[in-house]
Amino acid sequence: MVLPRNAAWFAACFIAQLYGLYSPFHARAQQVSIEPRAHERASSSPAPPPNLRVDASMVLVPAYVNTPLGAAVTELGKESFRVFEDDVEQHLSYFAREDAPVSIGLLFDSSGSMHNKMQKSSEAAASFFKTANIQDEIFLVEFDERPRLSMSFTPDFGEIYKRIAHTRPFGRTSLLDAIHMALQEMKNARNSRKALVILSDGGDNRSRHTFRQIKDAVLESDVQVYSMGIFDAADVRKKTPEEESGPHLLEELARESGGRHFPVEDLEDLPTISTQIGNELRDQYLLGYFPTNAARDGKYHHIKLKLAAGAELPSLRVHYRQGYYAPSQ
């Protein structure tokens, strides 16, 4: 976990639709526009050193709060939060709500089962990029029979679009291997805040890595996982156990990392959901504390984040990273 940079943000990127190499969506590939997005920044604490990490004592907890109906709650103050590590309450030393730069890994399912879902998937990508900022950076991992780092980190969302626009669905689904590849690429991120955004229509049926291996890797990283799982209730074919476990896999990875999983049963909902994910990345609080247990034991420490008692708070929902691994030396 690392501290965000306190730079100003502007702009949003827009990408068009996509399908195949010679589809009508590809004809729109050059129609990429950049529009400014209003900058918001609110902070109640002095800015911390820009490169301070967990192994330099401070632990950071990104948090998103919403109502039962899903609306973001962005006006809470420091006094509204209580943070616990291994059931011991901690003193909040840093609190902010600010639109900070994000390094993003887009994991795009290009397996054969995505053939009839490419148009709406492209619209979802377009909606997500509209929430982005010019200081964001993004890389693309496509996965079918195997994962491919199709494009390393770039601030040019148009280039990411051009790559996606030439994607042709093929083969089976190597989702876990794709997450592993994305976590490796994320080590090259220049921004302190990091997120993986996964768009896939099913569980893994091809990877060499196991779910336990990937879950441990996510827990050891400071990356939030957001996923859009397209699960077709009308698909009556016999599925493998791995495919059946797809929703649970994505849900657990998202929850443990402090992100969110959005099951998608209607393709028409994809663009709206991707916009919601983008907005959640912008509407987060950032809480920092110095652990009372400063042991460099390499162990996993559980975090609980609670909203302080108040008439307006009990019905609110808070999403946050569930813990972190302490440095071992």
pTM score:
0.81
Q: Work out the average pLDDT over 67-76.
A: 89
Spell out the residues 6+ positions from residue 170 whose beta carbon is closer than 8 angstroms to its own: 110, 111, 112, 144, 145
254 assigned to some structural domain: yes
pLDDT given at position 29: 41
Q: Transcribe 40-53 into DSSP letters.
A: -EEESSPPPPTT-B
Task: Give the structural domain span for 215.
Answer: 12-36+102-282
pLDDT in tens, 94-142: 999 878 889 999 999 999 989 888 888 888 888 898 888 889 999 999 9
Same domain, 110 and 90: no
Place of tokens 């649970």: 248
Same domain, 125 and 205: yes
Q: Is 186 left (phi over 0), alpha (psi -120 to 50) or beta?
A: alpha
pLDDT in tens, 159-177: 887 788 788 999 999 999 9
Q: Which CATH number belongs to the domain containing residue 235 in this structure? A: 3.40.50.410
Same domain, 113 and 68: no
Q: Are 2 and 53 in contact (CB under 8 A)?
A: yes
267 assigned to some structural domain: yes
Torsion of CA 245, 250, 251, 252, to 10 degrees: 90
d(CA 136, CA 246): 29
d(CA 33, CA 29): 11
Same domain, 22 and 109: yes
